[in-house]
């Protein structure tokens, strides 16, 4: 039995490393999920973490205490599995970005790629068909930007803070936010597309993260020739390549 874990800035995602396994979520816990207890002998836990060493070590220690398993932690390596990181110091690239690039390169060999991860941060990376990481972009994630807006504007009070696509001006505060965020992030994707056309050859787009579906819906004009892939567990897919 193998369990793959993606520790993000906001929450932890995990799933069993088997076809069709669903992604499950937990906050930074005081105990591991009940499913992790009494795992079969020889079980493994593979882990990607973008939080600080203290939180990561604390969680790894918890896994050892509760499960008796030494978690395997992914570390950026370059070159690796055909992917060459653009950073002069590869370890400065977020491990989640690296794992997403490994998985994207594996899913679409021989294709230039635009890999978009919509989480706490909105991160985009370009990858050429030969595995060369061209570089990337980082912006505030949708929920991060919304949280910042709501915390900074005392007059805005929302019962529902889920952002949805809206192309027309709003006539309520919530509708106005939908329209504003759709314009903001839709424009971001348009700019990424322009840069991609200058740096890549007919790239395939791959979306991951909690805001992947929302972002795909904003770029409908960009997908006329080929629909993008939406792979919520892209980082965990990369764990299978980094830690086979």
What's the pLDDT tens digit per position in 148-161? 888 777 657 665 66
Q: Do 9 and 120 belong together in one domain?
A: no
52: domain CATH number is 3.30.420.40
Q: Indicate whether 85 belongs to any domain.
A: no
> Could you tell me which residue, 92 or 161, shows the higher pLDDT?
92
Inter-residue contact 83 to 131 (CB < 8 Å): yes
Considering the domain architecture, whether residues 63 and 101 belong to the same structural domain is answered as no
Distance of CA 186 to the CA centre of its chain: 18
**Token pair belonging to 174:** 């919530």
What range defines the domain where residue 51 resides?
Answer: 2-73
Six-digit token string for 17: 């490393």
68 and 95 assigned to the same domain: no
Q: Are residues 50 and 139 in the same domain?
A: no
Quote the CA–CA distance of 219 and 185 in Å, as a whole number.
9
Residues 103 and 224 both lie in one domain? yes
Is 4 catalytic? The answer is no
- The verdict on residue 139 lying in a domain is yes
- What is the spatial distance between Cα 112 and Cα 181, in angstroms, rounded to a whole number? 28
Pair 166, 53 in one domain? no
Question: Same domain for 24 and 136?
Answer: no
Q: Does the pLDDT value for residue 59 go beyond 60?
A: yes
> Is residue 84 domain-resident?
no
What are the residue ranges of helices labelled H in the chain? 53-67, 95-107, 142-152, 173-199, 212-218, 234-242
Measured over the CA atoms of residue 60, residue 66, residue 70 and residue 75, the dihedral's sign is negative
User: Which residues are registered as beta bridge partners of 2?
Assistant: 44
Which one from 96, 112, 211, 237 is the annotated catalytic residue?
Answer: 96
When the pLDDT of each residue in the chain is averaged and rounded to a whole number, the result is 92
Residue with tokens 């490994």: 102
> Are both 12 and 115 inside the same structural domain?
no
What is the spatial distance between Cα 179 and Cα 167, in angstroms, rounded to a whole number? Answer: 6
Query: Residue 80 domain-assigned?
Result: no
Count of structural domains, the chain: 2
For residue 90, what is the DSSP state? G
Task: Give the tens place of pLDDT for each residue, 104-151.
Answer: 999 899 999 999 999 999 999 999 999 999 999 999 999 889 888 887
CA distance 227 to 56: 36
Which residue, 204, 224, 200, is CA-closest to 135? 200
Per-residue model confidence (pLDDT) at position 146: 87
- Do both 66 and 104 map to the same domain? no
Residues 59 and 104 placed together within one structural domain of the fold: no
């Amino acid at each position: 039995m193998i369990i793959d874990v993606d520790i993000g800035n906001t929450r932890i995602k995990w799933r069993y490393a088997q076809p069709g396994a669903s992604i499950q979520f937990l906050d930074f816990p005081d105990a591991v999920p009940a499913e992790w207890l009494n795992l079969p002998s020889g079980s493994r836990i593979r882990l990607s973490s973008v939080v600080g060493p203290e939180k990561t070590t604390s969680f790894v220690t918890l896994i050892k205490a509760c499960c008796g398993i030494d978690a395997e932690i992914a570390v950026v390596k370059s070159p690796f599995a055909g992917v060459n990181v653009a950073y002069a110091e590869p370890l400065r690239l977020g491990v989640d970005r690296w794992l997403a690039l490994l998985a994207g390169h594996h899913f679409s060999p021989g294709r230039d790629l635009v890999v978009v991860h919509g989480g706490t941060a909105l991160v985009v990376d370009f990858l050429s068909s030969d595995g060369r990481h061209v570089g990337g972009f980082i912006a505030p994630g949708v929920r991060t930007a919304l949280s910042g807006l709501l915390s900074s504007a005392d007059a805005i009070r929302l019962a529902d803070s889920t952002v949805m696509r809206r192309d027309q001006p709003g006539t309520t505060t919530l509708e106005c936010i939908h329209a504003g965020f759709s314009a903001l992030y839709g424009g971001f994707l348009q700019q990424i597309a322009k840069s991609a056309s200058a740096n890549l050859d007919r790239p395939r787009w791959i979306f991951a993260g909690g805001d992947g579906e929302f972002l795909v819906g904003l770029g409908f004009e960009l997908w006329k020739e080929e629909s993008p892939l939406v792979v919520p567990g892209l980082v965990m897919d990369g764990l299978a390549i980094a830690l086979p």
